[in-house]
Copies of this chain bind each other. A is one copy, B any other.
Amino acid sequence: MPRKRSISPRKLPKQERSRITVEAILEATTRILTEEGYDKASTNHIAERAGIGIGSLYQYFPNKESIVAALMEQHSNEIAEIVESKLSHLFDRPIEMVIPELIKAAIAAHAINPRLHQVLNEEIPQSERLQQMQQAEKRIAGLLRAYLERWNDDIHPRNLEMTVFILGRTVESLCHSAVLEHPDFITNSQFEREVSDLLLFYLKRTN
C-alpha cells in the first residue's frame, strides 16, 4: 500500500506566532523563486531566508512540494479572482465591450508579480506542478464558455470548445509574453487595442 505523498500542511498553526512563521516561509519562497530561480529553492535555503530553523519549516509543511503547491494555489486564486470580478458584471454586455475588459484584466493579473508567474509556469518540474495552476485557467475557460453560449445568436462559433480554447490560450499567452518581454507595449493602450481587434474580428466574422 503506497502511502500517498501528501501536499496538505502537516499541522495547522493555532497561535499567532506560528501564523507569522508560515507566512515567513511562503514569503521567503516567493523571494527566492523570483530572485534566484527554482533550483536555488532548497528547503534549507528557504528556512534561512525566512529567518527560522529548518525544523520549524517541517512543522507546517510535510515536504518541499507542498510549499510550492501552497504558493501556486495562492497565486492562482489571485489571478482568477481578478478576472472573475471584472467579468462577472459584464455578462449581458456585448462582446465589443467584454473583450477589451478581459484583456485589461489579464494584463492586470499578470502584472501582480510577473516573474513569480513565469517561474511558477515555466520552471517547476511537471511532477510537482499539479493541476492547481491550470485551475485558474479552467475557471476562466468556464466563464468564457458560458458567455459565448449566452450570446450564441450573435456569435455562433463553428466549434464552441475550440473557440474557448483559442480565446483563452491567446489572451493568456499574449499577456504573459508581453508583460515579460515587451513592457513597452503595455504602457500605452495600443497593445490592448490590437489584441482586442485580433479576437473581435475573429468572433464577429460572418460566413
Report A's interface with B, CB cutoff 8 A: 37-39, 119, 121-127, 158-159, 162-163, 165-166, 169-170, 173-174, 177-178, 182, 185, 190-191, 194-195, 197-199, 201-202, 205
Contacts of A124 in B (CB 8 A): 123
Q: Is the CB of A39 within 8 A of B125?
A: yes
Q: Is the CB of A166 within 8 A of B198?
A: yes
Contacts of A195 in B (CB 8 A): 166
Q: Could you pull out 8 A-B pairs where Cβ atoms are within 8 angstroms?
A: A122-B126, A123-B125, A162-B194, A169-B173, A169-B177, A170-B174, A170-B198, A198-B199
Contact of A185 among B162, B182, B185, B205 (CB under 8 A): B162
Q: A126-B123, A190-B159 are in contact. Are A185 and B202 (CB under 8 A)?
A: no
